[in-house]
A and B are shown apart, each in its own frame.
Chain A
Amino acid sequence: MSLDPATVRRIARLARIGIDESDVPALQGELNGILGWVEQLNEVDVEGVTPMVGTGHAALRTRPDVVTDGNCRDAVLSNAPDGVGPFYTVPKVVE
């Protein structure tokens, strides 16, 4: 499997990482190097093997669906890069 420049641009877009056209060749080379190397997993017979999610030392616990950290609005907002009053701001998304 080998990534072409269009795929590199598409991955960057999906990952929301801005890239310049001049970044594409280097990224293509590095990602292809890693992907070529992980191809060795094709040697392994995984027929009938259950995929491992987490390490299986314990079942995931659930908790009641209730608010447990209420009344700390100011703490939650304290690191907002651009806030107005009790709100986060974003660039306009609807014209």
Chain B
Amino acid sequence: MSLTELTIADAASGLRARKFSAVELVRAHTDAIDALNPRLNAYITPTREAALKAAQQADEALVKGEARSLTGIPLGIKDLFCTNGVRTTAASNILKNFVPPYESTVTANLLRDGAVFVGKTNLDEFAMGSANITSAFGPVENPWKRNGDDAALVPGGSSGGSAAAVAAGLAMGATGTDTGGSIRQPAAYCGIVGLKPTYGRCSRFGTIAYASSLDQAGPMARSVRDCAIMLQSMAGFDERDSTSVNCDVPDYSAAVGRSLKGLKVGIPAEYRAEGLSAEIAAAWQQGIEWLKAAGCEIVDVSLPHTKYGLATYYIVAPAECSSNLARYDGLRFGERVPGDTLDAMYEATRRAGFGPEVRRRIMMGTYVLSAGYYDAYYLKAQKVRTLIRRDFTEAFQKVDVLLTPTAPTPAFAQGEQSDDPVQMYLNDIFTVPASMAGMPAMSVPVGLGATGLPLGLQLIGRPFDEETLLATGSALEQAAGFTHRPAIRAEATK
């Protein structure tokens, strides 16, 4: 088997058994990036030379028996994580030459455990989007193809570059961030596993902020076990993030494959929403049958405020983004456009530096926070958010985990969806509620639809119970036997 087809778990044992070296493993991936990135655009900044150097050090550690969980494993890093000395752009022109003088906590944790970063992956500008088409560095192409159709499909967003890179074998795993579904939805569109941990589980220090009360880093990989291995490294308390929660990080790998006997799985009625494609409804039913067969009890539950999740999100997230992105003023970092006065400089800088979606969300947020409208929009949304969280809390008194579709449709083609922002926002209808409530959730690929595209199911768990997600996700993964691979991938170019 080609080195770009291995799981992280198998590569880690292969490295220890000296079946191949870290340099060979990393080179296979950097070669794949050289070959495929001009087409897929999954990476904004490949870091080939640094990766090969890190791979040599990984080999030295392996020889000395000092290998850690991710020693020599090539990972892609979403270009929203600050990496010391490596350009970090957030896919925005305003940060196109920004080189952080420090390392985010999540990437520092991965480096501590020996990971090798092969590049910074593309995303929607400042993580605002559901199709990876708002990047200042161009759209990402989904490596999957519809049967008999060469149309370029979107990889989902905002972590679309990470999802495409992992699916195509340009990284063994990648970091993502999820604000309203930005890990889970692209994972579903690209046929990989993506996990958004509980808010507070992974540090947000050094991750470029979009909406601070929602943003959460998480792993994206080709198996549930690989996500467990990555999360083990990424998670943990961090003094430097005031929202980081100080509680023990369990052994996530131990949860993978755990028995599900007696587990209660909730099926929320409200997720049978309008716009849910027939094939995704069928995949959902299949998932229910598989979990039954694995010993789970299926329980119907209600999350009555589900339909208000998206509207709440599109008040809360823009409000927070308008505040967070106020720092991009052309003064201390980022690109400056000169002006005669300070205000003229701000206005010119922010007009040139931000793309249309970012400008639109900043303006939405400015409006909902402005005098006279704060109560009608922002305060109201915060109250609805309380009700959304209450729905989950009540459901979790009856069940251990929820099973839903991840997205209402499979991946669509670039330019196929309407230009109406509200239509685009509907892609996140199933992922946003768990984000609003801060619950952990993951997407697992369970099959292919009629056109040959991957379909994902979402699991939502109790706060800090990522273990149940991993256990249930691995049961789905095993039952589905999802071994399909995309048309465009490293192995296929050989």
Q: Which residues of A contact B (CB under 8 A)?
A: 1, 3, 7-8, 11-12, 14-19, 27, 30-31, 33-35, 37-38, 40-41, 43-44, 46, 49-58, 60-63, 72, 75-76, 78-82, 88, 90-91, 93
Contacts and interface: CB of A to CB of B under 8 A. Distances in A.
A41 B363 contact: no
B421 A18 contact: no
A17 B321 CA distance: 14
Interface of B: 97-99, 101-102, 198-200, 213, 239, 242-243, 245-246, 305, 307-308, 311-312, 314-315, 322, 326, 329-336, 338-348, 350-351, 354, 359-360, 362-364, 366-367, 370, 376-377, 379-387, 389, 420-422, 437-438, 463-464
B315 A38 contact: yes
Contact of A81 (B336, B342, B380): B336
B101 A72 contact: yes
A41 to B, nearest CB: 5
Contacts of A19: 351
A64 B361 CA distance: 35
B148 to A, nearest CB: 36
B204 to A, nearest CB: 12
B242 to A, nearest CB: 5
B15 to A, nearest CB: 34
B382 A53 contact: yes
A71 to B, nearest CB: 13
A44 B101 contact: no
A46 B380 contact: yes
Contacts of A44: 305, 308, 383-384, 387
Contacts of A40: 307-308, 311
A18 B347 contact: yes
A79 B82 CA distance: 13
26 contacts: A3-B367, A11-B370, A14-B370, A15-B363, A17-B351, A18-B344, A18-B351, A31-B364, A33-B421, A34-B421, A40-B308, A46-B387, A52-B382, A52-B383, A55-B438, A57-B438, A58-B245, A60-B242, A63-B239, A78-B101, A80-B332, A88-B331, A90-B342, A91-B338, A91-B340, A91-B341
Nearest to A75: B101
B243 A54 contact: yes
Contacts of A35: 364, 367
Contacts of A80: 331-333
Given A17-B347, A79-B98, 18 more contacts: A7-B367, A16-B350, A17-B350, A17-B351, A17-B354, A37-B314, A40-B308, A41-B381, A44-B383, A52-B383, A55-B438, A57-B245, A58-B243, A79-B332, A81-B333, A90-B331, A91-B340, A91-B344
A37 B376 CA distance: 14
A37 B386 contact: no
A31 B367 contact: yes
A63 B351 CA distance: 36
Question: Which 7 A-B residue pairings sit nearest by Cβ, starting from the closest?
Answer: A55-B438, A18-B347, A51-B382, A79-B333, A75-B101, A81-B336, A46-B383
Contact of A18 (B245, B336, B348): B348
A15 B369 CA distance: 11
B363 A16 contact: no
Nearest to A79: B333
B333 A30 contact: no
A81 B345 CA distance: 12
Given A34-B314, A63-B239, A90-B345, A50 B363 contact: no
A8 to B, nearest CB: 8
B86 to A, nearest CB: 13
A17 B198 CA distance: 34
A46 B384 contact: yes
Contacts of A16: 326, 329, 343, 346-347, 350
Contacts of B98: 79
Contacts of A51: 379, 382-383, 385-386
Nearest to A54: B213
Contacts of B364: 31, 34-35
Nearest to A13: B347
B422 A81 contact: no
Contacts of B367: 3, 7, 11, 31, 35
